[in-house]
A and B are shown apart, each in its own frame.
Chain A
Amino acid sequence: MKKNIFLLIVFLSFPLVMQAADNLFYVSFASRVMIYAIAATSLNLALGYGGMISFGHAAFVGAGAYAASICIVEGLTSAWLGWPAAMAAAAAAAWLIGAVSLRTRGVYFIMITLAFAQMAFYLVNSMKAYGGDEGLTLPQRASGLGNEVAFYYVVLLLLSLTLLLLHRLVNSRFGRVIVAIRENEARAEAVGLPVFRYRLACFVIAGAFAGLAGALLASHGKYVNPNVLHWSQSGELMIMVILGGVGRLWGGAIGAAVLLGLEHLITDYPIGWLERIAPNYQDHAGLGIGLVLLAIVLFAPQGLAGLADGRKRAAA
């Protein structure tokens, strides 16, 4: 409890301290990390708790990002309108994609979600009215959120709500059912549960929150382009979940912070001796991240959240 209050104070005071230090870059960076934390948490609901290894989660982030952006471009700048619209658009996409994909299993499910996401990627590439492959620059953020510090607090609130909802959800009747389906689908069906319906509902909820993350992402950068739907984005979200902890409440958030933090460290803080050996090593941040991921999978298969839990248990 003490630790949680400490964390809360750190998160609440962070932008004020940064503002005093005249370093708003890190406030903006923290917002970005928290937005990805929402996206990764939503993927963790489907992948970690629901056992649905979706390789197309970027499609839902993208649906939300484009829906919110289109709202702003068309003059509907209120977040109260744009963000629910983004969630609805992403939920609808998840419903359509899920209704088809969830009839398949295993590697077929991975491939079919990937295929749908690629279709969505090419679809927005050809949406000439809204930027096509060049992307869409927004005249402004959702109204009232131009200020970097205000935006930070809004994102912090939404991330907290997302985590609270996930926490409640996994301990509810619904959460029990989706975890049971992950554990043994045939048995879940044989105790009378309509497995497909529960899976689809879980997939749609996960999609909606990915859509919220997309809307925030578009507002944050005042720009959206088809690359938010690129398959490598789906991969990045998956890496976040695996890094942080599959099926763990904080898994997505921790994974997002660690992955984006690492990327930032590698690209913005050159290491002298490494640069002398390999002058352009910073263009290959993926290699360093790959090594970290390898270490996690080998030595902490429960992810970083699992590592922290393990310590606690060992100490108790």
Chain B
Amino acid sequence: MLRLEALSKRFGGVVATDGVSLEVAKGEVHALIGPNGAGKTTLIGQISGSLPPDSGRVVFLEKEITRDSLHERVRAGLARSYQITSLFRRFSALDNVALAVQARSGSSFSFWRPVAGETRLFDEAASILDEIGLSEKKSQTASTLAHGDQRALEVGLALATRPQLVLLDEPMAGMGPEESRRMIALIERIRTRVTILLVEHDMDAVFRLADRISVLVSGRILATGRPQEIRANAEVRRAYLGDEVAA
């Protein structure tokens, strides 16, 4: 579904990604892990469209999208969530999602008709809030939601664009165990209908959710495989996992 072909990016003398090739198959949860500074953030930028690569190609649904802008990729079905929560903070939870639904459903060059009358937008937004477990808090202002709820809304915004593939950038960031458990349950619910590329530091979550795992170290893919293969891979353990997972 998504294919990266030898993506590279240099910042001055620093090589952030160095010929990364990767394939995400339809329907899988593909986890991307790696130590800090491995180039994950750069790679996410290249996939989502905020960073143009120096060389290499990004192919999505058999179409090259290497030079497509962020919003064009979203339209094509490739959405993302952010590691640092990025919401419309002064909008209610419902309005946040409704805006994302609106962005997908046709042009917004409509200047006269009140959007509040478009029940379809808000019905669909409400059903997404239901799915991410926020229907009780739909009229709450986004900035006043608890951290875990904001993280869920972050994922909800990506889902509202009806993506075929969603790139979740550390959805568990800064979460306590209870919140993480809820996020894992949410990802379990959506994986049946959307392909997921999951970037995450929480190894517990990664090994529970992922069908396949790719390990990024120093801007290169060190290994790709099933969770048990990755766990058993000596190189990976030396470079990243250490004894924590082996135990």
Complex Cα–Cα for A224 and B78 (A)? 53
Chain B residues within an 8 Å CB radius of A187: 82, 86-88, 157
Chain A residues within an 8 Å CB radius of B118: 173
Total contacting residues, chain A, CB less than 8 A: 25
Which residues 39-78 of B have a CB within 8 angstroms of A? 48, 50, 69-71, 74-75
Stretch from A69-77, A90-98, A149-157, A193-201 contacting the other chain: A193-201
Q: Mark A23-61, 1 if CB is under 8 A from B, else 0.
A: 000000000000000000000000000000000000000
Given contacts A171-B114, A173-B110, A195-B71, whether A190 and B89 have CB atoms under 8 Å apart is no
B108 sits at the interface (CB 8 A) = yes
Chain B residues within an 8 Å CB radius of A201: 109
Chain A residues within an 8 Å CB radius of B86: 184, 186-187, 190
Asked if residues A177 and B157 are in contact (CB atoms below 8 Å), the reply is no
Asked if residues B116 and A171 are in contact (CB atoms below 8 Å), the reply is yes
Which residues 89-111 of B have a CB within 8 angstroms of A? 89-91, 95, 99-100, 102-104, 107-111
Chain A residues within an 8 Å CB radius of B70: 189-190
Asked if residues B90 and A183 are in contact (CB atoms below 8 Å), the reply is yes
Most buried by B among A175, A184, A188, A191: A191
Chain B residues within an 8 Å CB radius of A191: 74, 79, 99-100, 103-104, 157, 160-161
Known pairs A169-B112, A187-B87 / 16 extra A-B pairs, C-beta < 8 Å: A172-B114, A173-B110, A176-B115, A180-B99, A183-B88, A183-B89, A183-B90, A187-B82, A189-B70, A190-B157, A191-B99, A191-B157, A191-B160, A192-B74, A192-B79, A193-B71
In the assembled complex, 18 residue pairs joining A and B whose CB atoms fall closer than 8 Å, in A order, are A165-B111, A172-B113, A172-B115, A173-B110, A175-B115, A176-B102, A180-B91, A183-B88, A183-B89, A184-B87, A188-B88, A189-B71, A192-B71, A192-B103, A192-B161, A193-B71, A193-B103, A198-B108
